[in-house]
Amino acid sequence: MKVAMLTGGGDCPGLNAVMRAVVRKGERTYGDQLVGFVDGWRGVLEAETLDVSVDTFRNTLPRGGTVLGSSRTNPLKVDGGLEICKRTMGDLGIDALIAIGGEDTLGVAHQLANAGVRVVGVPKTIDNDLSATELTFGFDTAVQIATEAIDRLHTTAESHNRVMVVEVMGRHAGHIAVWAGIAGGASYILIPEEPFDIDEVCAALTRRHELGNYASIVVVSEGAVPAEGSFQVARDEKDAFGHVRLGGIGNTLASEIESRTGFETRVTILGHVQRGGTPTSFDRVLATRFGIAAIDAVHQERWGEMVALQAGNIVPVPLADAVGTLKLVDPDLYDVARVFFAG
């Protein structure tokens, strides 16, 4: 078979590990010819491909990013975009496509599958907000990076009796904030799922100071929102999938905390550091398992399905289940974090 792969949306540690596994099993076990579309759906729309083989992915297991490049190009926003994608597949004689991406990339894959394209999905996002899979690769790496940063911030916060605001990624869901916040012993964690009341946050930090802890760490997801009437955060620029460009809530939050409590406050925005660099061993293994399952799914003709992690096993699920709604933070886990808020 001639099998194509693409990586779409924000990059993520482990993308190369997925493709390495697809190519290894595809070439060696099934005798497939493998090809990659460059820069996600842009490569499909413009029929730009890269021939790949086992050799292409040598030494890429520990390498972050994606050998194929990625973009947020959305074929659904292009006139006749789905038709163009179908035509490219036909013109290039591609028998099947493995789309590796998050909600947006897999949303397009789902529409293409409905239009008769032979496509299989692999779940990817450091945000871990994709439904139907317990975990996406890249998330563990991001949590690890954020936790290390919080560990480091504790000592400088304590030396200066400061509040440290740490902004992490998490557009719609606060998985990174909650996991890194619990692991790093945060004094408060703010997530998109729970609009926060700035007065409550400040009261809790003040209480903490009264108990004799003069340093605090506040972890905030970039997508966290103040409760209505609390204060305003400016957000306007949008990408091709209509998402507002986030980042910056940490700055606003820090100045609100400082002016309301009088505690000296500093902010660290981790940003793309969380997405770059080498994947953890956990993510390398998960990505490898996903890659092997994806090429197996192609040969089992499981079109319109995605490989997913459920109860420790890799299983196929309909793409429709993955892209319908986002997977949010489990309220029970947030309650665990809450016990430690500003104590």
> Applying CB under 6 A, which residues contact ligand F6P?
9-10, 72, 102, 125-127, 169-171, 222, 246, 275
Least gap, CB of 175 to ligand F6P (angstroms): 10
Query: Is residue 292 classed as helix, strand or coil in its secondary structure?
Result: helix
Least gap, CB of 239 to ligand F6P (angstroms): 6
Query: Is residue 109 classed as helix, strand or coil in its secondary structure?
Result: helix
Distances (CA, A) of 282 to 14, 136, 138, 271: 10, 11, 9, 22
If one counts every other C-beta atom within 10 angstroms of the C-beta of residue 34, the result is 24
Could you give the CA distance from residue 261 to residue 282 in angstroms, rounded to a whole number?
Answer: 41
Least gap, CB of 171 to ligand F6P (angstroms): 4
Nearer to ligand F6P, 248 or 318 (CB): 248
- For the question of residue 127 being annotated catalytic, the response is yes
Least gap, CB of 214 to ligand F6P (angstroms): 32
Nearer to ligand F6P, 271 or 318 (CB): 271
Question: Exposed, middle or buried, 313 (CB in 10 Å: 0-12/13-18/19+)?
Answer: exposed
- Nearest of 12, 308, 309, 169 to residue 178 by alpha carbon: 169
In the complex, residue closest to ligand F6P by CB: 10
- Nearest of 15, 30, 239, 282 to residue 125 by alpha carbon: 15
CA angle centred on 7, ends 6 and 9, rounded to 5°: 135
Cα Rg, the chain, nearest whole Å: 21
Q: Find how far residue 319's CA is from the centre of its chain.
A: 17
Nearer to ligand F6P, 49 or 125 (CB): 125
List the beta bridge partners of residue 168.
221
Nearer to ligand F6P, 155 or 325 (CB): 325
Query: Of 32, 104, 127, 296, which residue is the catalytic one?
Result: 127
Least gap, CB of 286 to ligand F6P (angstroms): 17
For 17-84, the DSSP string reads HHHHHHHHHHHHTT--EEEEETTTHHHHHTT-EEEE-GGGGTT-TT--S-TT------GGGSTTHHHH
Nearer to ligand F6P, 118 or 275 (CB): 275
Nearer to ligand F6P, 9 or 69 (CB): 9
Tokens of 211: 């108990």
Least gap, CB of 342 to ligand F6P (angstroms): 26
Which residues are the active-site residues? 127
